[in-house]
Amino acid sequence: MTIRRLKTYTGGQGYVYQYYYVGKRPATVGLSDAPAVEYVFDVTADRKTMFSVSIFVPQDTLRGWASHHGRELTGAEEYAAVKMRLFRGFDEIEDMMGRGRSLLLDRPALEEVLATLGVA
């Protein structure tokens, strides 16, 4: 049995979210069915209702970053960027359960969050 570590984050909208990482899997994103990696988190804002939030990272985004920076992201760096995208969703989206279930980590967002983390 897997024991999940429940973490807490206070979002910019005033909600206190609890979440845990479920895992990642290959996925497609967009109308073109472009290949991506989907990171899945289970989230609650009221400690009663749990819902999944998926962060999609297109393979083109990762390849573009690697080409620009001369190296691929490590697994830890990629996960950190995904988590920062989740936090941005918590900060910016008032109704995460209704409007924040599927978030995209595109190239500009990836560059921004990695710069915030000091990853170059």
Residue 31 banded pLDDT, cuts 50, 70, 90: low
What is the SS3 string spanning the chain?
A: CCCCCCEEEECCCCCEEEEEEEEEEEEEECCCCEEEEEEEEEEECCCCCCEEEEEEEEHHHHHHHHHHHCCCCCHHHHHHHHHHHHHHHHHHCCCHHHHCCEEECCHHHHHHHHHHHCCC
* pLDDT given for residue 92 in this prediction: 94
Contact predicate 90/11, CB 8 Å: yes
Residue 33 banded pLDDT, cuts 50, 70, 90: confident
pTM over 0.75: yes
Q: What is the pLDDT of residues 36-70, one digit of tens each?
A: 999 999 999 999 999 999 999 999 999 999 999 99
Domain ranges of the chain: 7-117
